[in-house]
C-alpha cells in the first residue's frame, strides 16, 4: 500500500456525461500527479499540482480539468465523456515536485468505463 | 525532449533463472531513471531509482538495475526469478537538466515467470 488513495475504484457512465475522480496524497506529500493508462496510449501524464497550484501540464484534453484543494487532496474532472476516455486513471504523489530525486508513489487507480 | 524505449513487449523466463528487462532512454542532459512494477488491477509500485553515483542500483524484492551511460540503458535484473515476479514493468526517465518536471514512461514489458 503506497498511502495514496483514490475513489471510486470503478466508474461506469455514459457518453456526454461528467465525472469527478478523487485522490488523497500520502501524508506529507505536497505534489499530486494525474496519469491516464489505456491500451493504445500507454501511461500518459496529464497534469501536476504542487501545494494547490498547477505545476506542469501534459497531454490533458480541454474537456478535462483538475484542482488541488487546501487539504492537498485533488480532483480530476472529466466532462463530455467519449468512448475513448475509457481508461485507468492514476494519481501519484511526491514530496517535492520537479526535483529529480523525488519518487512518485501511485494510488490504486480508478477504472473509468464510458458506454 | 525525453523518451524511454522498452524494446520487448513480453519477456518469458523460467523460475530460478536470471531475468533482464531492457530499457533505453534519451535525454538532452543527465537522467534520473526509475523502475516501477504493476500487478493486475493494481497501481504502479516503485522498485528502484538511479540518481547519481554507483551504476548498480539495488531495489525492492531483490531487483537491481545497471545504469550504462555510454549505451543510454538502464536494464532491470534479478538473479533468480520467482513466479510471483510476473507483472508489467515500466521504466521511466526525467531529464535532470531539462525543463520537463514530469516522468516519461516506457510502454511497459510484460514479464512472465514460468514454473
For A6-65, write each residue's pLDDT tens digit.
999 999 999 999 999 999 999 999 999 999 999 887 899 999 998 999 988 988 999 999
pLDDT value of position A37: 94
User: What is the CA A106 to chain-centroid distance, rounded?
Assistant: 10
User: What is the CA B57 to chain-centroid distance, rounded?
Assistant: 11
Q: Quote the cell numbers at residue B72.
A: 543510454
Q: Quote the cell numbers at residue B25.
A: 532512454
B102:A42 CB<8 A? no
Contacts of A79 (CB under 8 A, 6+ apart): A18, A63, A64, A65
* pLDDT beyond 70 at B3: yes
In B, minimum Cα distance to A89 occurs at B43
Instruction: With beta carbons under 8 A apart, name residues in chain B contacting A90.
Output: 43-44
pLDDT value of position A78: 98
φ, ψ of residue A18 to 5 degrees: the values are -125, 140
Tell me which H or E stretch contains A19: strand A19-24
Measure A77 CA to nearest chain B CA, in Å: 20
Averaged over B4-28, what is the pLDDT?
96
- DSSP per residue, B50-97: E-SS-SEEE-GGG-EEEEETTTTEEEEEESS--GGG-EEEEEEEEETT
Q: What's the longest Cα–Cα distance across chain A?
A: 41
Instruction: With beta carbons under 8 A apart, name residues in chain A contacting B90.
Output: 43
Chain B contact for A58, CB < 8 A? yes
Q: How high does pLDDT run on average in chain B? A: 93
The size of the A-B interface in CB pairs under 8 A is 52
Give me the residue from A43, A48, A92 closest to B101, CB to CB: A48
Q: Which of residues 76 through 115 in chain B touch A, CB cutoff 8 A?
A: 90, 94, 96, 100-108
pLDDT band at A96 (very low <50, low <70, confident <90, very high): confident
More confident residue, A58 or B102: A58
Instruction: With beta carbons under 8 A apart, name residues in chain A contacting B96.
Output: 100
B44:A45 CB<8 A? no
A103:B107 CB<8 A? no
Instruction: Return the closest-CA partner of residue A74 out of A11, A7, A13, A16.
Output: A7
Q: What is the pLDDT of residues A100-110, one digit of tens each?
A: 678 899 999 99
**What distance, in Å, lies between the first and last C-alpha atoms of chain A?**
31
Amino acid at each position: 500500500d503506497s498511502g495514496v488513495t483514490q475513489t471510486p475504484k470503478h466508474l461506469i457512465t455514459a457518453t456526454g456525461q461528467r465525472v469527478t475522480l478523487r485522490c488523497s496524497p500520502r501524508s506529507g506529500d505536497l505534489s499530486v500527479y494525474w496519469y491516464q493508462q489505456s491500451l493504445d496510449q500507454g501511461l500518459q501524464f496529464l497534469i501536476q499540482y504542487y501545494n494547490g497550484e498547477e505545476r506542469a501540464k501534459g497531454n490533458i484534453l480541454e474537456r478535462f480539468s483538475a484542482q488541488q484543494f487546501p487539504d492537498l487532496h485533488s480532483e480530476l474532472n472529466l466532462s463530455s465523456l467519449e468512448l475513448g476516455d475509457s481508461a485507468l486513471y492514476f494519481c501519484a504523489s511526491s514530496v517535492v515536485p520537479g526535483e529529480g530525486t523525488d519518487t512518485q508513489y501511485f494510488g490504486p487507480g480508478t477504472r473509468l468505463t464510458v458506454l | 525532449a525525453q523518451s524511454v524505449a522498452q524494446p520487448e513487449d513480453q519477456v518469458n523466463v523460467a523460475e530460478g533463472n536470471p531475468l533482464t528487462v531492457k530499457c533505453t532512454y534519451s535525454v538532452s542532459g543527465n537522467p534520473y531513471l526509475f523502475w516501477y512494477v504493476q500487478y493486475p488491477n493494481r497501481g504502479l509500485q516503485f522498485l528502484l531509482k538511479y540518481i547519481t553515483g554507483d551504476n548498480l542500483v539495488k531495489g525492492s524484492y531483490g531487483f537491481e538495475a545497471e545504469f550504462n551511460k555510454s549505451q543510454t540503458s538502464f536494464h532491470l535484473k534479478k538473479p533468480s526469478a520467482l513466479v510471483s515476479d510476473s507483472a508489467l514493468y515500466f521504466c521511466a526517465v526525467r531529464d535532470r537538466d531539462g525543463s520537463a518536471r514530469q516522468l516519461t514512461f516506457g510502454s511497459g514489458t510484460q514479464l512472465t515467470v514460468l514454473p
